[in-house]
Protein backbone atom coordinates (compact mmCIF):
# COMPACT_ATOMS: atom_id res chain seq x y z
CA UNK A 1 0.00 0.00 0.00
CA UNK A 2 1.47 3.41 -0.93
CA UNK A 3 2.39 5.62 2.01
CA UNK A 4 -0.10 8.23 0.84
CA UNK A 5 -3.04 5.78 0.69
CA UNK A 6 -5.79 6.66 3.10
CA UNK A 7 -7.58 3.97 5.05
CA UNK A 8 -11.18 4.98 5.75
CA UNK A 9 -12.17 4.96 9.41
CA UNK A 10 -15.01 2.58 8.55
CA UNK A 11 -12.42 0.03 7.38
CA UNK A 12 -10.53 0.36 10.66
CA UNK A 13 -13.72 -0.12 12.67
CA UNK A 14 -14.46 -3.40 10.90
CA UNK A 15 -11.13 -4.75 12.17
CA UNK A 16 -11.47 -3.50 15.76
CA UNK A 17 -11.96 -6.43 18.17
CA UNK A 18 -15.68 -6.97 18.82
CA UNK A 19 -15.13 -6.65 22.58
CA UNK A 20 -14.02 -3.02 22.28
CA UNK A 21 -15.83 -1.87 19.14
CA UNK A 22 -18.79 -0.35 21.08
CA UNK A 23 -16.38 1.59 23.29
CA UNK A 24 -14.48 2.92 20.28
CA UNK A 25 -17.77 3.90 18.62
CA UNK A 26 -18.90 5.72 21.79
CA UNK A 27 -15.60 7.62 21.96
CA UNK A 28 -15.89 8.69 18.31
CA UNK A 29 -19.48 9.79 18.85
CA UNK A 30 -18.51 11.80 21.95
CA UNK A 31 -15.80 13.66 20.06
CA UNK A 32 -18.15 14.41 17.17
CA UNK A 33 -20.82 15.69 19.59
CA UNK A 34 -18.36 18.10 21.21
CA UNK A 35 -16.66 19.19 17.98
CA UNK A 36 -18.86 18.38 14.98
CA UNK A 37 -16.70 20.46 12.63
CA UNK A 38 -13.37 18.97 13.72
CA UNK A 39 -11.36 17.34 10.96
CA UNK A 40 -11.42 13.54 11.27
CA UNK A 41 -8.07 12.04 10.24
CA UNK A 42 -7.81 8.24 10.21
CA UNK A 43 -4.35 6.85 10.85
CA UNK A 44 -2.74 4.90 8.02
CA UNK A 45 -2.12 1.87 10.17
CA UNK A 46 -2.98 -1.75 10.61
CA UNK A 47 -3.75 -3.71 13.78
CA UNK A 48 -0.47 -4.22 15.67
CA UNK A 49 1.11 -7.64 15.94
CA UNK A 50 1.45 -7.33 19.70
CA UNK A 51 -1.59 -7.16 21.97
CA UNK A 52 0.43 -4.77 24.15
CA UNK A 53 0.68 -2.13 21.46
CA UNK A 54 -2.02 0.47 20.96
CA UNK A 55 -3.61 0.60 17.54
CA UNK A 56 -4.14 4.29 16.80
CA UNK A 57 -7.32 4.59 14.76
CA UNK A 58 -8.23 8.24 14.32
CA UNK A 59 -7.31 11.72 15.43
CA UNK A 60 -9.29 14.93 15.35
CA UNK A 61 -7.92 18.37 14.54
CA UNK A 62 -9.28 21.87 14.74
CA UNK A 63 -7.74 24.87 13.01
CA UNK A 64 -4.83 22.66 11.92
CA UNK A 65 -4.01 21.50 15.45
CA UNK A 66 -4.34 17.87 16.58
CA UNK A 67 -6.55 17.74 19.64
CA UNK A 68 -7.65 14.21 20.51
CA UNK A 69 -7.04 10.73 19.20
CA UNK A 70 -8.67 7.37 19.72
CA UNK A 71 -6.86 4.07 19.84
CA UNK A 72 -7.53 0.56 21.02
CA UNK A 73 -6.04 -2.51 22.59
CA UNK A 74 -7.70 -5.96 22.53
CA UNK A 75 -9.47 -5.37 25.88
CA UNK A 76 -9.84 -1.61 26.24
CA UNK A 77 -9.70 1.61 24.29
CA UNK A 78 -7.91 4.87 24.82
CA UNK A 79 -8.70 8.50 24.20
CA UNK A 80 -5.48 10.49 24.07
CA UNK A 81 -5.04 14.23 24.22
CA UNK A 82 -2.16 15.74 22.28
CA UNK A 83 -1.85 18.67 24.69
CA UNK A 84 -3.00 16.74 27.74
CA UNK A 85 -0.28 18.15 29.97
CA UNK A 86 -1.96 21.54 29.59
CA UNK A 87 -5.46 20.30 30.47
CA UNK A 88 -6.83 21.14 33.87
CA UNK A 89 -7.90 17.72 35.09
CA UNK A 90 -9.59 17.86 38.45
CA UNK A 91 -11.09 14.42 37.79
CA UNK A 92 -7.90 12.38 38.04
CA UNK A 93 -8.78 10.55 34.82
CA UNK A 94 -5.80 11.65 32.77
CA UNK A 95 -2.88 9.25 32.83
CA UNK A 96 0.63 9.40 31.47
CA UNK A 97 3.71 11.39 32.11
CA UNK A 98 5.13 12.10 28.68
CA UNK A 99 6.22 15.48 27.40
CA UNK A 100 2.75 16.56 26.23
CA UNK A 101 0.26 13.74 25.63
CA UNK A 102 -2.04 12.30 28.28
CA UNK A 103 -4.68 9.60 27.92
CA UNK A 104 -7.84 8.15 29.42
CA UNK A 105 -8.45 4.40 29.56
CA UNK A 106 -11.95 3.40 28.42
CA UNK A 107 -13.11 -0.09 29.39
CA UNK A 108 -16.78 0.24 28.41
CA UNK A 109 -19.02 2.66 26.50
CA UNK A 110 -20.32 3.96 29.84
CA UNK A 111 -16.83 5.27 30.61
CA UNK A 112 -17.12 7.65 27.67
CA UNK A 113 -20.40 9.06 28.99
CA UNK A 114 -18.94 10.20 32.31
CA UNK A 115 -19.31 13.97 32.65
CA UNK A 116 -15.58 14.31 33.43
CA UNK A 117 -14.64 12.72 30.09
CA UNK A 118 -16.86 15.03 28.07
CA UNK A 119 -15.56 17.98 30.07
CA UNK A 120 -11.97 17.03 29.17
CA UNK A 121 -12.87 16.69 25.49
CA UNK A 122 -14.49 20.15 25.53
CA UNK A 123 -11.46 21.66 27.27
CA UNK A 124 -9.10 19.98 24.81
CA UNK A 125 -10.93 21.48 21.82
CA UNK A 126 -11.00 24.89 23.45
CA UNK A 127 -7.24 24.63 23.94
CA UNK A 128 -6.81 23.42 20.34
CA UNK A 129 -8.82 26.32 18.94
CA UNK A 130 -6.74 28.80 20.95
CA UNK A 131 -3.54 27.20 19.64
CA UNK A 132 -4.87 27.30 16.08
CA UNK A 133 -5.68 30.99 16.40
CA UNK A 134 -2.18 31.59 17.72
CA UNK A 135 -0.77 29.87 14.62
CA UNK A 136 0.84 26.97 16.46
CA UNK A 137 1.71 23.86 14.42
CA UNK A 138 0.05 20.48 15.12
CA UNK A 139 1.37 18.67 18.19
In a domain, 86, yes or no: yes
In a domain, 94, yes or no: yes
In a domain, 3, yes or no: no
* Per-residue confidence in pLDDT tens, the chain, 139 aa: 444 567 888 888 888 999 999 999 999 999 999 999 999 999 988 888 888 889 999 999 998 899 999 999 999 999 999 999 999 778 889 999 889 999 999 999 999 999 999 999 999 999 998 876 655 555 5
* Structural domain containing residue 45: 9-133
The total of structural domains in the chain comes to: 1
In a domain, 33, yes or no: yes
List of residues 6+ apart from 107 with CB closer than 8 A: 23, 75, 76, 77
Dist CA 47 CA 16 (whole Å): 8
In the prediction, which pLDDT does 45 show? 85
In a domain, 4, yes or no: no
In a domain, 2, yes or no: no
In the prediction, which pLDDT does 1 show? 42
What's 95's domain CATH number?
A: 3.30.1460
- Cβ atoms of 7 and 42 closer than 8 Å: yes
**Beta partners for residue 71, in sequence order:** 56, 78
List of residues 6+ apart from 52 with CB closer than 8 A: 73
Amino acid sequence: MPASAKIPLSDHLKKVPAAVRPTVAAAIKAVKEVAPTAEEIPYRSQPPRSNRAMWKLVRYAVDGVYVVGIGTFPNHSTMFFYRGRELDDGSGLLQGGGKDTRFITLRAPADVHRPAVKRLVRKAFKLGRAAGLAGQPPA
